[in-house]
């Protein structure tokens, strides 16, 4: 076993129980854990944007734009949090106006996306409850683990070689299949219809992989491999949570559009 894989396993062995415990506890404990990871992502995103175009106050503005709405949403003020996120992203865009020579949209768009995704995770647990949140986490974890295993063992054509040199079609299909199975298994005892849970798990796995590729595109654009080195074997917080953020945002939007009983636990 390689040192990198060992570090990856050890990090996951620590982070997954922490995440499960936070989801299970809910309330301020969940909000605290989400807040810590949100600040970590904000710090990393500020560093990435400064690599693209260093600007005074850009990194503090990004951290504030992500941290303040997160605190508001954790206190139950979701709409003020969304408004604060929009205002912060607009302020970052103004900060970059006339000073950024390329991709002036990168910092404000990425900051807004991260913030809204964090708010979606908070909203899902605080309003949706334990089981939909735990279901989503398990689906994304199954996606990541199976995609990594299938990609390494099967290989084959690359999924998006211009964005990620390692992701394969076999990894995508393996991850989506595992997500469908995990989604159905989680719903087997008093949850939604198994076909619905499996189909939604498969779809969210694809969304999760798209979120991973989007972050890879941003990193490749500025010329960095990892968002940071905060999580041994995984890179940064953004590297670990990019898929979860995309899937959570899609899941919350679906619940809002199709009804909160989408998965039958409410």
Q: How far apart are CA 126 and CA 12, in angstroms?
A: 25
Sign of CA dihedral 215, 210, 232, 220: negative
- What's the confidence (pLDDT) of residue 24? 95
Angle ∠(186,123,148) on CA atoms, nearest 5: 45
Dihedral angle over CA of 118, 124, 129, 134, nearest 10: -70
β-bridge partners, 158: 168
CB 158 within 8 A of CB 171: no
Alpha helix (H) ranges present in the chain? 3-25, 27-52, 58-74, 78-96, 106-123, 130-153, 169-186, 194-222, 237-258
Consecutive 10-residue averages of pLDDT for the chain (266 residues):
65 86 94 95 91 84 96 94 96 82 82 96 91 93 88 79 79 92 85 86 95 87 80 79 94 84 64
- What's the confidence (pLDDT) of residue 265? 63
Q: How far apart are CA 134 and CA 175, in angstroms?
A: 18
CB 16 within 8 A of CB 23: no
- What's the confidence (pLDDT) of residue 264? 63
- What's the confidence (pLDDT) of residue 2? 57
């Amino acid at each position: 076993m390689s040192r990198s894989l060992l570090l990856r396993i050890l990090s996951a062995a620590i982070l997954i129980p922490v995440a499960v415990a936070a989801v299970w506890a809910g309330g301020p404990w969940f909000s605290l854990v989400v807040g810590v990871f949100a600040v970590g992502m904000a710090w990393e995103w500020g560093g990435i944007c400064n690599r693209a175009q260093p600007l005074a106050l850009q990194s503090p503005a990004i951290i504030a734009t992500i941290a303040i709405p997160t605190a508001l949403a954790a206190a139950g003020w979701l709409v003020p949090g969304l408004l604060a996120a929009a205002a912060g992203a607009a302020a970052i865009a103004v900060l970059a106006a006339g000073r950024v020579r390329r991709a002036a949209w990168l910092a404000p768009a990425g900051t807004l996306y991260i913030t809204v995704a964090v708010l979606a995770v908070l909203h899902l647990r605080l309003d949706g409850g334990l089981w939909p949140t735990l279901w989503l986490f398990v689906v994304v974890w199954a996606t990541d683990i199976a995609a990594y295993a299938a990609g390494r063992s099967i290989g084959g054509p690359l999924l998006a070689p211009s964005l990620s040199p390692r992701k394969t079609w076999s990894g995508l299909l393996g991850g989506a299949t595992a997500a469908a199975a995990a989604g159905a298994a989680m719903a087997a005892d008093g949850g939604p219809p198994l076909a619905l849970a499996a189909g939604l798990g498969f779809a969210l796995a694809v969304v999760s992989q798209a979120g991973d590729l989007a972050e890879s595109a941003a990193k490749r654009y500025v010329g960095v491999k990892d968002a940071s080195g905060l999580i041994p074997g995984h890179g940064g917080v953004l590297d670990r949570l990019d898929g979860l953020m995309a899937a959570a945002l899609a899941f919350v939007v679906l619940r809002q559009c199709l009804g909160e009983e989408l998965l039958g636990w409410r």
